[in-house]
Structure 1
Amino acid sequence: MIDQRHNAPRRYFVDAQGHRVLIGLSLQETAEFEALDVTATETPQIVTETGMGKGAAAVDDVRWLELYSKHEGAWRVWIARSQAERIPDLGFVNHV
């Protein structure tokens, strides 16, 4: 297994106020995503006790997936651009 703790780029940036924001999401969307992510790890009994039924949990799952998809898409674009910037310009190589 490859240890990527020191090699993998971060999936977030820190804004001017020091808040961690996931790439592709706003600060509010990041907070919503993280709250939904924590909720998803809770047991069904806890969800039921809070008055949320299965319908509410399904809506949360859909919203989590929407936010994750938005983040993942922006992340992939960011990685592609970062890699393109690191490729040296070799004038003698024909990339066409």
Structure 2
Amino acid sequence: MTGMRVDVFTSSTDIAPRRYFVDAGGRRVLIGLTPEETFEFERLDSGQAPGRVQLASDGHDMWPDAGERRRLELYEKHEGAWKAWMAQSRTERPEGFNLY
């Protein structure tokens, strides 16, 4: 992420650091995802995509449909990159500096 601004500070309305950076085109991009993956994730996460769960033939078991599996895949990719970025950020902070 060299050369990209990552917004990790909270505003008065935010409780947690933001999990995105602003790319050269001014788009918010989730850490660890491409702009296209971010758009796909946000669309899937907003519920605009088709159903999230399918019922098994017995009517009891449920499993995620393709859209939900993709949303979870993108989330896991983002979450892993976020955790790695936060760990790296903690090691680079001056001693005594703490956002939490």
Under TM normalisation by the shorter chain, which class is it?
A: 0.5 to 0.7
**Is 1:73 aligned to residue 62 of structure 2?**
no
CA distance in structure 1 between the partners assigned to 2:39 and 2:47 by the alignment: 12
Q: How many residues align?
A: 75
State the Cα RMSD in Å. 2.7
Moved over 4 A (4+): 4-7
Residue 64 of structure 1 aligns with which residue? 71
Provide the secondary structure at the position in 2 that maps to 1:32: helix
Q: % of aligned pairs identical?
A: 52
| 1:23-77 Cα deviation digits (max 9, x unpaired) | 000000000000001127x8xxxx47xxxx949x700010000000000000000
Structure 2: which 5+ residue stretches go unaligned?
1-11, 56-63, 96-100
Residue 19 of structure 1 aligns with which residue? 27
Instruction: Identify which of structures 1 and 2 has the higher relative contact order when contacts are C-alpha pairs closer than 8 Å and 6+ apart.
Output: 1
Provide the secondary structure at the position in 1 that maps to 2:47: helix
Compare the two structures and name the one with the higher helix fraction. 1
Structure 1: which 5+ residue stretches go unaligned?
89-96
Match of 2:39 among 31, 42, 48: 31
Higher radius of gyration, 1 or 2: 1
Compare the two structures and name the one with the higher strand fraction. 2
Residue 92 of structure 2 aligns with which residue? 85
